[in-house]
Amino acid sequence: MTEPRFFDNGDGTVTDAWTKLMWMQEDSYLMLKKFVTYRQATKLLDKLNSESFSGYNDWRFPNKREAHSLFHSDKLKSTKDKYRMDIYIDPTFTAGCGYDTWTSHTRGSITAYSYSFNSGRGGHKEVDDTMNTSVRFVRGEFDNSRLKITAVPQVRDQITQGGGWR
């Protein structure tokens, strides 16, 4: 029998025993009942830290590798997003959430990296884009010794060939 990886702390947080990170059990979509821009996510982060969410005031955006660490590439474990589509994160996280998360990776003040828990890939989006984007905040020091994540797969833009579809 394999050791449990994710633990519901009973206070709105989930601890990942493999990476030593603590995650918010709900993402911003579940908290606010709407998708958020990167700027709105930053304001939410400031608010949650000022209120010491679950007793902590050091919540932050995950980096790309931390977000990717939640993805179950074997697709054996999943939960449902707000559209009742599978996203491949542990069911310890609350169902009905958004399917992706903003990360701490930005390009100036124009774009930020968004990681999809459905595809296990990510890419940069405009920071003011609200198109189905949410955030799941994290705290702690990332221990990559077990997962050994070196890179995060990029979005494959087969349809638009990089020209955009908007």
In this structure, the number of other CB atoms found within 10 A of the CB of residue 52 comes to: 11
Structure confidence at residue 131 (pLDDT): 76
Say how many domains are in the chain: 1
Question: Does a structural domain hold residue 116?
Answer: yes
Residue 166 is predicted with a pLDDT of 32
Q: Report the C-alpha gap between 20 and 18 in whole angstroms.
A: 6
Answer yes or no: is 162 within a domain. no
**Within a domain: 51:** yes
Which residue reads 């069911």 in tokens?
Answer: 91
pLDDT for 165 equals: 35
What pLDDT, on a 0 to 100 scale, did the predictor assign at position 158?
43
Assess if residue 151 is contained within a domain: no
Task: Report yes or no on 39 lying in a domain.
Answer: yes
Note if the pTM is more than 0.85: yes
What pLDDT, on a 0 to 100 scale, did the predictor assign at position 128? 87
Query: Is 148 domain-assigned?
Result: no
Position 14 scores a pLDDT of 98
Residue 35 lies in a domain: yes
Q: Is residue 149 part of a domain?
A: no
Contact 135, 59 (CB under 8 A): no
Which pLDDT does position 159 carry in this prediction?
A: 40
Bin 19: left if φ > 0, else alpha if -120 < ψ < 50, else beta: alpha
pLDDT of residue 164: 40
129-165 pLDDT per residue, tens: 877 899 999 999 999 999 999 888 876 544 443 444 3
Amino acid at 113: Y
3-class secondary-structure state, position 48: helix
Expressed as residue numbers, the domain containing 106 is 6-139
Mean pLDDT by 10 residues, the chain (166 residues): 88 98 98 96 98 98 97 90 94 96 93 93 87 93 95 63 38
